């Protein structure tokens, strides 16, 4: 596989620079054998935590830190994310190795961790230039990605020592209440209020969670790493910031919020962040049916989880847009997020009207 298919870092964005000398000194005290002077670059993908590439003469490392500026109280907990990854690694081998964790403000103004780099292909809005798949190969890739989510949901979290990760039953209600509160607090004057959607979710939520499993909470194509020599094989899963114990159908709903399929409208296509529009990709309905068949979970009427996923995505985008609106981040990619939030409300309202719930 050609090297130009691998995920690449670029120059660090203005205002998001790190004190490289301090980071380098910290890492050399923590990672045996690390030597040389590193070069610092930044991965352009992602809209929440910041991801940097530290390129040493004989190895590449990945550094993750929170965004600069205002941060939601419960978000961007780097220490929690790193500890989850370390606990998961023995039972879910797609997690990168965590090499160092830092909570020392003398090194950086925020907690951060450093992990191994898994060289590979990260499928974003489109497959990398030069990578072409037949519909059959695309379907195989799609199923491989979904299978990794299913595999996570079937992990014995108690055996992995992660039984204290969540808060027990009532996950669905906590999510509806929590995301409603976060959306209201992050709302800016130029976005819609989502009150009808929040009321519908409160009224239609299931009486109890369908199960309690490990959930990723941000499982998308651009959070998986593909084998450069066999692009249908997933070799890594990234971004464990929001992983917890909860209802697996809520996790699937989150995943499908990003799933822009070929027959979606033009606005959804503009928002697409993964290649789920390609011939051979499963539709959202096909994903739900496949997931239900493989897990045994009842997925007869998935409307609640679909609308929840879209609302939660809107709340996440709005939290990011809040920082952009108030000048706390300068990334121009965040400028249209307010318009996206309004579109997601209209999509939720349409699905609510069509739902049999």
Q: Residues 3-116: name the CATH superfamily.
A: Phosphorylase Kinase; domain 1 (3.30.200.20)
Whether 3-116 and 135-354 share one fold: the answer is no
Give the pTM: 0.92
DSSP per-residue letters across 10-71 = BPPPTT----HHHHHHHHHHHSTT--SPPEEEE----SSSEEEEEE-SS-EEEEEEPPSS--
Q: What are the CA-CA distances from residue 240 to residues 81, 85, 117, 353 (Å)? A: 6, 7, 15, 34
Query: CA 90 to CA 215: how far, in whole Å?
Result: 16
> Where are the domains positioned within the chain?
3-116, 135-354
Q: Can you read off the two tokens belonging to residue 7?
A: 């995920």
Q: pLDDT tier at 72 (50, 70, 90 boundaries)?
A: low
Q: Domain 135-354 belongs to what architecture?
A: Alpha-Beta Complex (3.90)
Please provide residue 246's backbone torsions phi and psi, each rounded to the nearest 5 degrees: -175, -170
Which comes out higher in pLDDT, residue 175 or 75?
A: 175
- Residue 121 is given by DSSP the state B
What mean pLDDT is reported for the chain? 94
Q: Which of 69-73, 130-134, 312-316, 342-346 has the lowest mean pLDDT?
A: 69-73
pLDDT score at 48:
72
Q: What is the mean pLDDT of residues 320-331?
A: 91
């Amino acid at each position: 596989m050609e090297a130009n298919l691998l995920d690449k870092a670029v120059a660090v964005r203005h205002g998001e620079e790190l004190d490289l000398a301090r980071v380098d000194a910290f890492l050399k005290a923590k990672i045996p054998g690390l030597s040389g002077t590193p070069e610092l670059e930044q991965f352009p993908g992602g809209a929440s935590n910041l991801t940097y590439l530290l390129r040493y003469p004989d190895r590449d490392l990945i550094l993750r830190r929170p965004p600069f500026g205002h941060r939601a109280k419960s978000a961007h907990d780097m220490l929690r994310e790193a500890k989850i990854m370390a606990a998961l690694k023995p039972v879910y081998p797609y997690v990168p190795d965590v090499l160092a964790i830092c909570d020392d403000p003398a090194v950086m103004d925020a907690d951060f961790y450093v992990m191994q780099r898994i060289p590979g292909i990260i499928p974003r809005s489109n497959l990398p230039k030069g990578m072409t798949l037949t519909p059959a190969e695309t379907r195989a890739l799609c199923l491989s990605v979904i299978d990794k989510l299913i595999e996570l949901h079937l992990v014995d979290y108690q055996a992995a020592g992660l039984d204290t990760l969540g808060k027990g039953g009532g996950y669905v209600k906590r999510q509806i209440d929590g995301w409603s509160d976060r959306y209201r607090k992050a709302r800016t004057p130029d976005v819609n209020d989502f009150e009808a959607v929040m009321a519908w979710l409160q009224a239609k939520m299931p009486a109890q969670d369908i199960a309690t499993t490990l959930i990723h909470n941000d499982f998308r194509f651009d959070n998986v790493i593909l084998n450069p020599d066999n692009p249908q094989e997933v070799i890594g899963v990234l971004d464990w910031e929001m992983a917890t114990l909860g209802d697996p159908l809520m996790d699937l709903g989150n995943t499908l919020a990003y799933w822009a399929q070929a027959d979606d409208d033009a606005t959804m296509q503009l928002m697409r962040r993964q290649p789920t529009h390609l011939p051979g990709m499963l539709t959202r309905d096909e994903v739900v049916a496949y997931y239900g068949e493989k897990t045994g979970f009842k997925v007869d009427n998935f409307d609640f989880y679909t609308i929840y996923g879209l609302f939660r995505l809107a709340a996440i985008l709005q939290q990011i847009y809040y920082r952009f609106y108030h000048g706390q981040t300068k990334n121009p990619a965040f400028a249209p997020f307010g318009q996206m939030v309004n579109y997601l409300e209209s999509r939720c309202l349409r699905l609510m009207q069509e739902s049999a719930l």
